[in-house]
């Protein structure tokens, strides 16, 4: 399993390096990268996923102290999903070889695709929550790169940014949820969480809501569905991989896996099921309106994800079983359809439904594939989609009448847009024309095997799941132990007698027939119906608002005059420090036992400080500063630190000299008025800073942990060979620190030197500076008669 | 003892902050110096002030804690470096801007780049603040260069 996650990353590097020499053929290498994931089918088919057997786990330590490890746990559901990713990833890689033009930058395309595949495999296989979050974010980043692959187009950039922002928002939610769960459950591994403790903890509801935020953003549920349609700017094979089978299902995976933790809560189903069904309805409604085939598929994906969410959200074995079945079906038919749309785009040069008709005459094989996949999407027998839709109805019948109504209407709309999609193959063939009435492509012919094989395989799978339901059931059962529906004895059948679900299906077909019959009117009605709420408008407004807000904030707080800037900074620091002081217990020691020697120290320190505040003369100010400096040197002596006192005296002398040097060039020590309000603020700030520091020191006098100094006292002579412990610490124990200090002083010296040289007034400020020699020459020239 | 020093350090820091917020550039530098004094003393005070021998192994123990002393020794030197650099920057700022009023120094973020001191930090262009005499000197230099050629 570790290999399955690792190899795509390795192959990404290989593909990136070899892209120049291999060109489009590096796609075969990329497909190789998904082979270990395909090989996971072996344990999946084996006994390791049966009920009662422990799933195999592979552990790679990362930061064990923090509970950060790569734990890959191969339970049935993870393995099933990993194999699915492997299959679609390999097919997408092979398809791209035929699909992309020779001029595509393969040095980017395949590495991105593989990086994405690896992150996705890590995401589904990871049992460690922190690693799961890391992989989750990696899928966000890589999908950003893939959607923005053709970054010269502004739509691609926009779509990539939108997708990234929305899923990154969810990613932050997931991080918080993971933190809450691991604190509450006492482990960072999903399978080791103490479920009872999590359910009892007050963090349960926040963690639940944050998990849902992550799942909804990733799986494009209302109101976060806005990014999926614009993500269609990615190359079609990418759409087939990311937006049908993998990335968008990450949210569904999350809901499926965490459903075991949160499933018992009424809130969980109460949020997911309505939102999922609403998404299903809205997605299919919007899909019916689209004229671009890819956009139609995108909204269709939104709708199908809503259906999956609703099923997993039911959090009962029946729902999970139905959802897992439908997940398989959906992956098969949706990826196939994306591939088909890619073929149509590739061969005719357009994806607009109204420009295309009668394609079955020119693209007969594509037509067969498209027909199978579309029938499955529409939920018509004898395909897999029909079976899982029956299960969906069964599950919804238990949920309530309102849900049933939405489900039926959503399915009817689904049927209607499937009819729209398939209509491009019927009617008389016409050459697609561009707006100028010119044919887009001179001759239209059937696609080659490289383009046809991947969708044909997937469509074959969709047919197999329908004609021989036991195959789909066998696959879905593999996930039973992991998702706790192993005890559920539902079976997949094409004909299961006249049940309420079948009646609902008939009703659906009737509605859909009505929609198709009145297609033109429905379309007209849809186009003229403006939605009052648009996610996209909200997104734009939010971004614009953020822009405005940050500009104003920056303009209001940055680039001010230095004192004002400092006031803001100090006030913020004061608030934080004040909170710390408020929380800390104070330690007051009485003033009684003060040695007399402290009196001159106090006098010196305070006199210097007050004197500088009151002085009107710069020389006085510097001398008084020196007074405080000498005061602190005496204080060091009284604190039993002779070295410090010496250093302080030395530095004090040098500082005073430096000040005097600089005074040669500086103006008088005038006192500029601050203004009354600022004066008050400053006095307040200064007072708060002083009192805060005092309290902070008093609070920190307690020993928070045993001191480490005895070590130095014991080893100074043994290890450092010196009797002055402070010096030994500086030059032996912390030698590099002191070296760094010397470097700092040297750099300061350089900076001071160059600044002072710059500062000679009225001279050129570059290497064209007149050097002394030149000056001499000039003098010579002047002296010449 | 600790309480006394805590109060003294509080005084030093508040004096330092008040100076730091003033408009004269030299006062700003002095303010930072005072804050540094306060912090240096604070590090030692927090470690606890005891009537014991300084950490010289030639004397009889017990000794006071040597570690904060080592830290403060570094801090004193670094503090001096900071002061020196600040002073020179202050000097340079005064030379470029022609005044020592911190509140009137502008930069690229100034809300009004066309203001009296909204200069752009570009060494190739003379600041509008530079006294006119400088420009004259530059012209003189150029003339001399011409003589050279």
- pLDDT tier, B37 (very low <50, low <70, confident <90, very high otherwise): very high
Which comes out higher in pLDDT, residue B137 or A319?
Answer: A319
- Which chain A residue shows the shortest CA-CA distance from B124? A765
Express each pLDDT in B55-68 by its tens digit.
888 888 788 888 89
Contacts of A275 (CB under 8 A, 6+ apart): A216, A221, A222, A306, A309
Q: Averaged over B11-23, what is the pLDDT? A: 92
The pLDDT of residue B25: 84
State the Rg of chain A over Cα.
36
Closest residue by Cα to residue A174 from A138, A220, A226, A137: A137
Express each pLDDT in A406-424 by its tens digit.
888 989 999 888 988 888 8
- pLDDT tier, B74 (very low <50, low <70, confident <90, very high otherwise): very high
- pLDDT tier, A107 (very low <50, low <70, confident <90, very high otherwise): confident
Best residue in B17, B78, B120 for a mutation probing chain A (most A CBs within 10 Å) = B17
A705 shares contact with chain B (CB less than 8 Å): no
Express each pLDDT in A479-500 by its tens digit.
877 777 777 777 777 777 777 8
- pLDDT tier, B132 (very low <50, low <70, confident <90, very high otherwise): very low
B45 shares contact with chain A (CB less than 8 Å): yes
Question: Is B120 a residue whose pLDDT tops 50?
Answer: no
Which comes out higher in pLDDT, residue A745 or A760?
Answer: A745
Nearest to B33 among A555, A610, A625 (CB): A625
Express each pLDDT in A260-293 by its tens digit.
888 778 888 888 889 999 999 988 888 888 888 8
B15 shares contact with chain A (CB less than 8 Å): yes
pTM: 0.71
CB contact under 8 A, A698 and B40: no
How far lies A782's CA from each of A26, A142, A298, in Å?
Answer: 75, 71, 84
Question: Is A176 a residue whose pLDDT tops 90?
Answer: yes
B65 shares contact with chain A (CB less than 8 Å): yes
B64 shares contact with chain A (CB less than 8 Å): yes
Query: Whole-number mean pLDDT of chain A?
Result: 83
3-class DSSP state for residue A767?
Answer: coil
CB A574 within 8 A of CB A692: yes
CB A417 within 8 A of CB A352: no
Nearest to A609 among B3, B11, B64 (CB): B11
Phi-psi category of residue A74: left, alpha or beta, with phi > 0 → left and psi -120 to 50 → alpha: beta
The pLDDT of residue A629: 92
A741 shares contact with chain B (CB less than 8 Å): yes
A698 shares contact with chain B (CB less than 8 Å): yes
* Closest CA–CA distance from residue B35 to any residue of chain A (Å): 10
How far lies A207's CA from each of A64, A173, A174, A268, A313, in Å?
Answer: 24, 9, 9, 11, 16
CB contact under 8 A, B144 and A778: yes
B69 shares contact with chain A (CB less than 8 Å): yes
Contacts of A388 (CB under 8 A, 6+ apart): A322, A325, A326, A329, A379, A472
A687 CB neighbours in chain B (<8 A) are 14
The pLDDT of residue A771: 44
Q: Write out the H or E segment, with its range, that includes residue A524.
A: helix A519-528
B95 CB neighbours in chain A (<8 A) are 665, 759, 761
- pLDDT tier, B114 (very low <50, low <70, confident <90, very high otherwise): very low
Express each pLDDT in A540-591 by its tens digit.
888 888 888 888 888 777 766 778 888 888 999 989 988 888 887 776 666 6
Using CA atoms, how far apart are residues A55 and A77, in angstroms rounded to an integer?
11
A724 backbone dihedrals φ, ψ, rounded to 5°: -90, 100
The pLDDT of residue A742: 92
The pLDDT of residue B131: 42
B2 CB neighbours in chain A (<8 A) are 589, 697-698, 701
The pLDDT of residue A765: 41
Closest residue by Cα to residue A120 from A285, A252, A277, A299: A252
Establish whether the linkage from the previous residue to A223 is cis, with ω within 30° of 0: yes
Question: Is B130 a residue whose pLDDT tops 50?
Answer: no
Nearest to B74 among A670, A741, A752 (CB): A741
Q: Averaged over A419-437, what is the pLDDT? A: 79
A729 CB neighbours in chain B (<8 A) are 66-67, 70
- Which chain B residue shows the shortest CA-CA distance from A763? B138
The pLDDT of residue A592: 63
């Amino acid at each position: 399993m570790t290999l399955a996650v690792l190899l795509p990353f390795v192959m990404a590097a290989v593909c990136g390096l070899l892209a120049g020499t291999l060109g489009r053929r590096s796609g075969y290498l990329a497909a190789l990268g998904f082979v270990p994931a395909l090989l996971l089918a072996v344990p999946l088919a084996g006994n390791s996923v049966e009920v009662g057997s422990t799933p195999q786990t592979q552990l790679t330590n990362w930061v064990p102290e923090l509970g950060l490890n790569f734990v890959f746990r191969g339970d049935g559901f993870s393995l099933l999903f990993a194999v699915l990713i492997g299959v679609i990833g390999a097919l997408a890689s092979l398809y791209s070889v035929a699909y992309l033009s020779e001029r595509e930058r393969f040095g980017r395309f395949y590495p991105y695709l593989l990086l994405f595949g690896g992150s996705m495999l890590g995401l589904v296989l990871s049992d460690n929550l922190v690693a799961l979050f890391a992989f989750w974010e990696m899928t966000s980043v890589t999908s950003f790169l893939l959607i923005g692959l053709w970054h010269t187009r502004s739509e691609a950039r926009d779509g990539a940014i939108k997708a990234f922002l929305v899923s990154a928002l969810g990613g932050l939610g997931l991080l918080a949820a993971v933190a809450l769960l691991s604190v509450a459950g006492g482990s960072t591994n999903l399978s080791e969480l103490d479920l009872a403790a999590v359910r009892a903890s007050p963090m349960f509801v926040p963690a639940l809501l944050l998990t849902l935020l992550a799942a909804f953003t990733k799986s494009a549920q209302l109101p976060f569905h806005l990014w999926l349609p614009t993500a269609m700017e990615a190359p079609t094979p990418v759409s087939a991989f990311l937006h049908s089978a993998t990335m968008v299902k990450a949210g569904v995976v999350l809901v499926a896996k965490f459903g075991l933790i949160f499933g018992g809560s009424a809130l969980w189903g109460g949020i997911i099921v309505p939102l999922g069904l609403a998404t299903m309805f809205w997605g299919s409604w919007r899909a019916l309106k689209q004229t671009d085939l890819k956009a139609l598929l995108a909204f269709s994906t939104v709708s199908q994800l809503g259906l999956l969410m609703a099923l997993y959200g039911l959090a009962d074995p029946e729902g999970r079983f139905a959802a897992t079945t439908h997940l398989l079906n959906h992956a098969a038919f949706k990826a196939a359809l994306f591939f088909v749309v890619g073929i149509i785009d590739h061969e005719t040069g357009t994806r607009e439904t109204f420009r295309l008709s009668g394609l079955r005459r020119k693209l007969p094989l594509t037509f067969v594939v498209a027909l199978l996949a579309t029938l499955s999407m529409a939920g018509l027998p004898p395909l897999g989609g029909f079976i899982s839709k029956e299960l969906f109805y069964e599950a919804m019948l238990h949920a309530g009448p309102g849900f049933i109504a939405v489900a039926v209407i959503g399915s009817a709309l689904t049927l209607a847009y499937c009819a729209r999609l398939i209509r491009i193959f019927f009617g008389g063939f016409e050459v697609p024309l561009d707006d100028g009435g010119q044919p887009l492509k001179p001759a239209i012919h059937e696609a080659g095997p490289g383009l046809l094989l991947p969708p044909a395989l997937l469509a074959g799978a969709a047919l197999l799941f329908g004609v021989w339901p036991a195959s789909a059931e066998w696959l879905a059962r593999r996930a039973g132990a992991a998702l706790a529906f192993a005890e559920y004895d539902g079976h997949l059948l094409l004909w299961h007698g006249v049940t309420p679900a079948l009646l609902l299906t008939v009703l659906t077909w009737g509605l859909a027939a009505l929609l198709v019959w009145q297609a033109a009117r429905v379309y007209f009605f849809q186009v003229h119906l403006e939605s009052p709420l648009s996610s996209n408008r909200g997104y734009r407004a939010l971004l614009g608002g953020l822009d405005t807000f940050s500009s104003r904030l920056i303009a209001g707080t940055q680039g001010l005059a230095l004192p004002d800037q400092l006031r803001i900074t100090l006030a913020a620091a004061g608030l934080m420090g004040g909170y710390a002081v408020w929380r800390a217990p104070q330690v007051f020691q009485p003033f009684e036992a003060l040695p007399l020697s402290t009196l001159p120290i106090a006098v010196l320190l305070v006199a210097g400080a007050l004197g500088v505040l009151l002085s009107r003369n710069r020389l006085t100010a510097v001398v008084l500063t020196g007074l405080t400096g000498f005061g602190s040197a005496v204080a060091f002596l009284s604190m039993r630190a002779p070295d410090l006192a010496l250093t302080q005296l030395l530095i004090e002398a040098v500082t005073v000299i430096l000040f005097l040097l600089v005074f040669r060039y500086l103006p008088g020590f005038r006192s500029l008025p601050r203004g009354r309000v600022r004066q008050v603020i400053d006095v307040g700030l200064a007072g708060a800073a002083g009192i805060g520091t005092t309290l902070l020191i008093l609070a920190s006098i307690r020993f928070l942990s045993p001191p480490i100094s005895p070590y130095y006292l014991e080893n100074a002579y043994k290890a450092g060979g010196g009797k002055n412990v402070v010096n030994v610490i500086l030059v032996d124990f912390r030698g590099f620190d002191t070296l760094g200090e010397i470097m700092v002083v040297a750099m300061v010296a350089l900076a001071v030197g160059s600044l002072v040289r710059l500062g000679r007034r009225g001279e050129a400020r570059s290497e064209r500076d007149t050097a002394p020699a030149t000056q001499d020459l000039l003098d010579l020239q002047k002296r010449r008669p | 003892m600790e309480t006394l020093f805590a109060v003294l350090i509080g005084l030093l820091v508040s004096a330092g902050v008040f100076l730091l917020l003033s408009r004269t550039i030299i006062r700003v530098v002095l303010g930072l110096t005072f804050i540094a004094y306060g912090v240096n003393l604070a590090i030692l005070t927090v470690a606890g002030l005891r009537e014991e021998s300084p950490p010289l192994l030639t004397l009889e123990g017990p000794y006071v804690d040597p570690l904060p002393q080592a830290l403060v020794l570094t801090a004193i030197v670094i503090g001096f470096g900071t002061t020196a650099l600040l002073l020179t920057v202050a000097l340079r700022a005064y030379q470029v801007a022609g005044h020592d009023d911190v509140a009137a120094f502008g930069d690229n973020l100034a809300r009004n780049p066309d203001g009296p001191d909204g200069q752009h930090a570009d060494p190739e262009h003379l600041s509008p603040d530079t006294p006119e005499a400088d420009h004259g000197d530059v012209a003189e230099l150029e003339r001399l260069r011409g003589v050279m050629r």
